[in-house]
Amino acid sequence: MGVEWGRIIELWPEIQTAFFQTLTMIGISLAVALIVGLPLGILLFITDRGLFLENRPVNAVIGFIVNIVRSIPFIILLVALIPLTKLITGTTIGPIAASVSLSVAAIPFFARIVENSLREIDKGVIEAAIAVGATPWMIIKDVLLPEAKASIIQGVTLTIISLVAYSAMAGVVGGGGIGDLAIRFGYYRYDNTIMIVTVVILIVLVQLIQQAGDYTAKAIDKR
């Protein structure tokens, strides 16, 4: 399993491209997961039993959909979503197209994380806000989100790391990215150098994301 430095230099442009593809996929799908998953997670929480917008049917339906999407193997999701992907991005291949499936997979994942983060908030603080006569929207904006901020950021970290893992499967639709490079060169072409390099890049990437997440979560927490 020797590492040939020459090979790394030779394939450096490819590695760079893959790196940016990974960033693209994660960037897009993270953004979608945040934009859609956050409200969904909040909805899951506030419509639950005993909460201020308790609504059992809405809660059950969202919960069910979230569970279903989480049950489907990613590759099947990828296939099932081809029409949607085509509709949204106009293409079914490449990193942008892959981002559609990644987003769909990330939304329920992140929604559950948000829900769990919100559950950690002291119920008393929410009650105090209700007692003060705050509107549901104020409670969400000024109590739930600020109080769960640090925990949600940890959840974003976890989502990013899961997306890194999932994006390795994006090769199926030509999404490219570091994980796919590892599979194509390391696995199909027996290029141990590239395999090791890409795996190291992945490990470093994951560690950096983890540390950045930990640091941010700690830094913004006022407790």
Partner 1 sequence: MIQIEKLTKTYTTKHGTVTGVDNVSLEIGKGEIFGIVGYSGAGKSSLIRCINLLERPTSGSVTVDGNDLTKLNSEKLRKARLKIGMIFQHFYLISQKTVYDNIAFALRAAGTPSKNLKGRVEELLEMVGLSDKRDVYPAQLSGGQKQRVGIARALANNPAVLLCDEATSALDPNTTLSILRLLKDINLKLNITIVLITHEMNVVKEICDRMAVMQGGRVIEEGQVYDIFADPQKELTKEFISSVVSFNVPEHLLSEFTGTVVKVLFKGGVAGEGVISDMLQNYPVKGNFLHGAIEYIQERPLGVFIMELKGTSSDVMDALKYMESRSAIVEVIPNGR
Partner 2 sequence: GSGEESGSEGTGGEASKDIKLGATAGPYSDMLSKAIVPGLEEKGYTVELVEFSDYIQPNVALDGGDIDANLFQHTIYLENFEKENGMDLSALITVPTAPMGLYSNQYDSLEAIEDGATIAIPNDPVNGARALLMLQDEGLVELDPEAEVLQASERDVITNEKNLEFQPIEAGQLPRAVDGSDLAAVPGNFAIAAEMDLLDALALENMPDQYRNVVAVNAENEGSELAKDLVEIVESAEFEAVIDEEFEGFGKPEWMAE
Cα–Cα separations (whole angstroms), residue 210 to 40, 95, 140: 24, 23, 27
H helical segments located in the chain: 5-32, 38-46, 56-71, 74-80, 82-89, 95-119, 123-131, 136-138, 145-167, 178-181, 192-220
Q: Which does 223 bind (CB under 5 to 8 A by kind): its own copies, partner 2, partner 1, none?
A: partner 1
Q: How many CB atoms are closer than 10 A to CB 162?
A: 18
Reduced to 3 states (helix: H, G, I; strand: E, B; else coil), residue 94 is coil
**Contact between 25 and partner 1 per CB under 8 A:** no
CA torsion 201-203-205-209 (nearest 10°) is 180
Structure tokens at 186: 């390391």
For partner 2, the binding residue among 185, 197, 209, 213 (CB under 8 A) is 185
Alpha carbon distance 223, 213 (integer Å): 17
Hey, which residues between 90 and 149 contact partner 2 (CB under 8 A)?
A: 91-94, 97
- Which positions from 159 to 178 touch partner 2 by CB under 8 A, shown as an x/- string? ------------xxxx-x--
* Cβ atoms of residues 58 and 135 within 8 Å: no
For partner 2, the binding residue among 180, 194, 197, 205 (CB under 8 A) is 180
**Contact between 25 and its own copies per CB under 8 A:** no
* Cβ atoms of residues 34 and 156 within 8 Å: yes
**Contact between 221 and partner 1 per CB under 8 A:** yes
**Contact between 39 and partner 1 per CB under 8 A:** no
Reduced to 3 states (helix: H, G, I; strand: E, B; else coil), residue 141 is helix
**Contact between 135 and partner 1 per CB under 8 A:** yes
**Contact between 213 and its own copies per CB under 8 A:** no
Q: Give the length of the chain.
A: 223
**Contact between 65 and partner 1 per CB under 8 A:** no
Alpha carbon distance 140, 159 (integer Å): 22
Least distance in angstroms from the C-beta of 10 to its own copies: 21
Q: Which does 92 bind (CB under 5 to 8 A by kind): its own copies, partner 1, partner 2, none?
A: partner 2
**Contact between 133 and partner 1 per CB under 8 A:** yes
Least distance in angstroms from the C-beta of 207 to its own copies: 6
Q: Which residues bind its own copies (CB under 8 A)?
A: 67-68, 70-76, 79, 161, 164-165, 168-169, 179, 182-183, 186-187, 195, 199, 202-203, 205-207, 210
Q: Which residues bind partner 2 (CB under 8 A)?
A: 79, 82, 85-86, 91-94, 97, 171-174, 176, 180, 183-185, 187-190
